[in-house]
Amino acid sequence: MLKPNEICDEAIHTGIKKANYTLMQVVLLGVLAGAFIALGAFAAALSSHGVADVGVSKLIAGAVFPVGLMLVLICGADLFTGNCLMVVALVEKKITLKGMLRNWVLVYLTNFIGAFIIAFLIYNAGLLSTNSDKLGGYAVKVATNKANLTFVKSLCSGILCNIIVCLSVWGAYAAKDIAGKIAIIWFPVMAFIIGGYEHCVANMYYFSIGMMAKMNPSFVENSHITPEKLAGFNMHNIIFNNMIPATIGNIIGGSVCVGLAYWAIYKHKSAPRAVNQGSAA
């Protein structure tokens, strides 16, 4: 495995590579990443939705969800939250701000496309009818609860989320074999799911599938959400109470708390101290 200071060099190299992708590469890699995360999110929901004990339910979901990030990092894809680490290459002056922002914007949009496609396919495949429509009810419940968060809660939860996700990505740079990558991805991402933090790309899937499920009266009934709370599941709350603050939080958590922190530790060159050589008395 790479040593901690060598991981920082690998992060810089990866940031340079991502900033120089062609438009077609960015678009396709972004769509794939959104799809991979959505597939992991659906599998986690399916495996845990019927478990009454909250702790056990979260543990099961946490054990399954990491498959999405495993596919991203092992098979190759571009995930917005992981690409927050491109800031390391930026502060090393290996890429431009324009190049980084181009990647972020395109990847963010294409992550949504990939997540939406999977949600569309799942809904139209009738998979939400699993367990007598309870899975559909769970989709409505999850999305409604996320839409009813406050700005501050989504922001703070987003920071916590991408600290863990980017530490998983950072650690995966160190691993030189598949088993090592799986181990460093699996356990931290499991902790993120158990904690219930806000991940903007995963939420692209949750809100897409939730909006579709909301159109089915049986799914709404099985969600056991009050009409007042369900009314809060609307585009205004999705965008301003969740997606915007969660995205900002994800950027802070990944770029500042992980990327810039490690850059400061291993790459920042402090000004040399002046040595005081006073004359002998």
Q: Does residue 274 sit within a domain?
A: no
**Predicted structure pTM score:** 0.94
Q: Which residues contact 166 (CB under 8 A, 6 or more apart)?
A: 81, 82, 84, 85, 253, 254, 257, 258, 259
What pLDDT digit, counting tens, does each position of 206-225 carry? 999 999 999 999 999 999 99
Q: Which domain holds residue 109?
A: 4-266
Domain membership of residue 61 (yes or no) is yes
- The alpha-carbon radius of gyration of the chain (Å, integer) is 21
In a domain, 46, yes or no: yes
> What's the number of domains the chain is made of?
1
Reported as a single tens digit per residue, the pLDDT across 168-187 is 999 999 998 999 999 999 99
Q: Examine the pLDDT at 279 and tell me if it is beyond 80.
A: no
- Does the residue 277 lie in any domain? no
Q: Which residues fall within 8 angstroms of residue 84, CB to CB, at 6 or more apart?
A: 104, 162, 166, 250, 251, 253, 254, 255, 258, 259
Helices (H) and strands (E) in the chain, counts: 16, 0
The answer to whether position 273 is within a domain reads: no
**243 in a structural domain:** yes
pLDDT of residue 280: 40
CA 277, CA 281: separation in Å to the nearest integer? 12
Helix or strand or coil: residue 53? Answer: coil
If you average pLDDT over residues 226-253, what whole number do you get?
Answer: 98
Q: How far apart are CA 192 and CA 198, in angstroms?
A: 9
Report the 3 state secondary structure along 28-40: HHHHHHHHHHHHH
Q: Is the pLDDT of residue 226 over 50?
A: yes
Q: If pLDDT is split at 50, 70 and 90, which confidence band does 41 have?
A: very high
Residue 275 maps to a domain: no
Task: Examine residue 281 and state whether it is found in any structural domain, yes or no.
Answer: no
| pLDDT at residue 48, as a whole number | 97
Q: Containing H/E element for 228? A: helix 227-231
Task: Say what the pLDDT of residue 281 is.
Answer: 37
Mean pLDDT of 260-276: 74
C-alpha to C-alpha distances, 205 to 94, 159, 243, 256, nearest whole angstrom? 33, 19, 12, 26
| Confidence band for 269, pLDDT divided at 50, 70 and 90 | confident
pLDDT at residue 272 tops 50 = no
Select from 200, 214, 198 the least CA-distant residue to 161. 198
- pLDDT higher than 50, residue 10: yes
Asked if residue 252 has pLDDT above 60, the reply is: yes
Average pLDDT of the chain is 95
CATH of the domain at 239: 1.20.1080.10
Mean pLDDT of 153-176: 97
- ∠ CA 90-262-243, nearest 5°, is 65
- Per-residue pLDDT band at 270 (split at 50, 70, 90): low
Q: Which residues of 207-225 are buried (b: 16+ CB within 10 A; e: fewer)?
A: bbbbbbbbebeebbebbeb
DSSP label at 85?
G
pLDDT over threshold 90, residue 124: yes
Q: Under a CB-based contact definition with an 8 Å cutoff, are residues 233 and 150 in contact?
A: no
Q: Per-residue pLDDT for 256 more than 60?
A: yes
